[in-house]
Amino acid sequence: MLITRRAEFSASHVCCQSSLTPEQNREVYGSAANPSGHGHNYVLEVTLEGEPDPGTGMIFDLKKLKEIIQQAVVEPMDHRFLNYEVQPFNEVVPTAENVAVEIWDRLKPHFAGAPARLRNVRLYETEDLFVDYSGRD
């Protein structure tokens, strides 16, 4: 069975590579390459997979899941400029793909030995653009 918990955070970013010209960056990243940056209301959906515990009837304690997401992702990223304030985005381009992988890597250790396994991270950058990551490129 799958359970999904949703969280939101607002952050700014800029997508560009210093090795490319402004024109090349615009071609690759579109308006996301605007040098001053811009923001999104990111929506994160974290999906766990497991079987309900026969006693509690729960796959995983949702209060605990909420706390994990809050501490691992929302607190460090909410109302931040990702490129300047959240590592590794001082060196890694904070595309939706890379942010989703970073979120996965931050969440994954919290489920070591847990009754449920981390199954999928879906990150909406906007209502019209989202990525799904399940641990492997």
Partner 1 sequence: MMRVTRRYRFAASHRLHLADLSEEANRDLYGKCNNPFGHGHDYILEVTVAGPRDAATGLVIPIPSLDKLVYEQVLQDFDHKYFNVDVSDFADLVPTSENIIRVIEGRLKESWNAAFPGTWPRLDKIRLQETKRNSFQLIESEITK
Using the rule CB under 8 A, which residue among 11, 15, 77, 107 binds partner 1? 15
113 alpha-carbon distance from chain centroid: 22
For residue 131, state whether it binds partner 1 (rule: CB under 8 A): yes
Q: Which parts of 62-121 interact with partner 1 (CB under 8 A)?
A: 92-98, 100-101
CB-count exposure of residue 97 (10 Å: 0-12, 13-18, 19+): middle
Nearer to partner 1, 11 or 59 (CB): 11
* CA 22 – CA 128 distance, rounded (Å): 25
* CA 121 – CA 59 distance, rounded (Å): 17
Q: Which parts of 21-50 interact with partner 1 (CB under 8 A)?
A: 27-30, 32
* CA 125 – CA 25 distance, rounded (Å): 19
H or E segment and range at residue 77: helix 75-77
The residue range among 3-11, 13-21, 41-49, 71-79 that interacts with partner 1, by the rule CB under 8 A, is 13-21
Nearer to partner 1, 17 or 87 (CB): 17
For residue 130, state whether it binds partner 1 (rule: CB under 8 A): yes
Report in angstroms the alpha-carbon separations of 22 from 30, 33, 81, 130. 10, 8, 20, 25
To partner 1, the closest distance from the beta carbon of 120 in angstroms equals 10
Using the rule CB under 8 A, which residue among 17, 21, 71, 90 binds partner 1? 17
For residue 136, state whether it binds partner 1 (rule: CB under 8 A): yes
* CA 44 – CA 73 distance, rounded (Å): 9
Chain positions contacting partner 1, by CB under 8 A: 15, 17, 19, 27-30, 32, 92-98, 100-101, 127-134, 136-137
